Amino acid sequence: MMSAAHKLKIGAHLSTAGGIWKAPARAADIGANALQIFSTSPRGWKFPNISDEDASRFKSEARTHSIEPVYFHASYLINLADAGRTGNLSVKMLIAELSIAAKLGIRGSVVHLGSFKNGNAGEPDPKVWATLIANIKDVIAKMPENVFFIAENAGTRKIAQSLDELARIVKEVNSSRLKVCLDTCHLFSAGYDISNEKGLDNFLKEFDTKIGLGRLELIHTNDSRDPFASMRDRHENIGEGTLGKKTFQLLLNHPKLLQLPFILEVPGFDDEGPDKKNVDMMRGFVR
């Protein structure tokens, strides 16, 4: 019988160097059974383009290595609150990426929504807010039906830093195809103390009340290099940062989170990205 630790979906953001189809084997090599990848360079506007041959090979490799689910992480240049060229390119990029996701059997794209020009201090300009909502709706209307738009919380004075802002987005977009990704480092940096049992329970109750746990698609499990409520987004290896091992022990054993994938975006103990040591540590926390 498979142990609880091996049933749990623990994955990592890994390289697609040499071909997108190589990523599932890289996941298997470090003991992961879920995966997150970029569809193209995250720092440019080159739209993804995957051949039918590579798509077929990717799906075959994912099946062979039992890697599921798989997610894209969208470009860091995305800003859906922009009414000009950047916003227009962001919408087109996401539609292209989500079309590729459907072709590859990938569940959807995790998206940093962008930022308001006021640095997210106070209420955004109503016109800017309207642009954000309209652009998200536009992407969802034009993406294939079998994929999800997954909004990630922010910890660096960007859009969706607070649960209230994220909840407002979810309510106004009003689509079952809009899901949420929570990043542990971002939460801690934004002032949500999930490092103890009471704090985590209270946070999950608040999330369920304001957004709904059924909307939660995955968790980015990253320790933090910076102090609580620092508003900084610097990931650290599991157990090496200010969140500490106890936080991840609580997360991985919480009854409300057992069905979710946990995806590592850590620097790695050799500074080469998520590695077996981080994955094994996560599995070792499972009771």
Q: What percent of the chain has pLDDT over 70?
A: 96
Structure confidence by residue, pLDDT tens digits, 57-96? 999 999 999 999 999 999 999 999 999 999 999 999 999 9
Mean pLDDT computed over 190-195:
97
Give residue 176's pLDDT.
Answer: 98
Give residue 86's pLDDT.
Answer: 97
pLDDT higher than threshold 50 for residue 232:
yes
Give residue 124's pLDDT.
Answer: 84
Give residue 157's pLDDT.
Answer: 84
Give residue 6's pLDDT.
Answer: 66
Mean pLDDT computed over 117-124:
64
Structure confidence by residue, pLDDT tens digits, 20-63? 999 999 999 999 999 999 999 998 899 999 999 999 999 999 99
Structure confidence by residue, pLDDT tens digits, 144-179? 999 999 999 998 889 999 999 999 999 999 999 999
pLDDT higher than threshold 80 for residue 1:
no
Q: What percent of the chain has pLDDT over 90?
A: 92
pLDDT higher than threshold 80 for residue 5:
no
pLDDT higher than threshold 90 for residue 119:
no
Q: Which residue matches tokens 């969706």?
A: 160
Q: In CATH, what is the architecture of 4-284?
A: Alpha-Beta Barrel (3.20)
Q: 72-76, 115-119, 233-237, 283-287: lowest mean pLDDT where?
A: 115-119
Give residue 118's pLDDT.
Answer: 62
pLDDT higher than threshold 70 for residue 105:
yes
Q: What is the pTM of this model?
A: 0.96
Structure confidence by residue, pLDDT tens digits, 198-225? 999 999 999 999 999 999 999 999 999 9
Domain extents in the chain: 4-284
- Report the mean per-residue pLDDT for the chain: 95
Which one-letter amino acid corresponds to residue 185?
Answer: C
